[in-house]
A = this chain, B = another copy of it.
Amino acid sequence: MENQQEVFVRMAMNAWNNYIKKADTLFKSLSDEQLLKQVAPGRNRGVYLVGHLAVVHDHLLELLGVGERLYTKFDEAYLSNPDKPGMELFPVAEVRKAWEITCQKTEEAFAKMQPADWFMKHTKMTDEDLVKEPYRNRLSVLISRTDHLAYHLGQVALIR
Whether A154 touches B143, Cβ cut-off 8 Å, given contacts A41-B41, A135-B10, is: no
Q: Is A87 on the interface with B (CB-CB < 8 A)?
A: no
Q: How far, in Å, is A110 (CB) from chain B's closest CB?
A: 16
How many identical subunits does the complex contain?
2
User: In the complex, A155→B148 CA distance in Å?
Assistant: 13
Q: How far, in Å, is A132 (CB) from chain B's closest CB?
A: 10
Residues of A1-56 at the interface with B, using a CB-CB cut-off of 8 Å, are 1-2, 4-5, 7-8, 10-12, 14-15, 18-19, 39-41, 43
Residues of A93-149 at the interface with B, using a CB-CB cut-off of 8 Å, are 119, 131, 134-135, 137, 139-140, 143-144, 146-148
Residues on B with beta carbons closer than 8 Å to the beta carbon of A150 = 147-148, 150-151, 154
User: In the complex, A45→B139 CA distance in Å?
Assistant: 34
Asked whether A43 lies within 8 Å of B4 as measured between CB atoms, the reply is no
Residues on B with beta carbons closer than 8 Å to the beta carbon of A135 = 7-8, 10-11, 14
Q: Is A152 on the interface with B (CB-CB < 8 A)?
A: yes
User: In the complex, A143→B8 CA distance in Å?
Assistant: 11
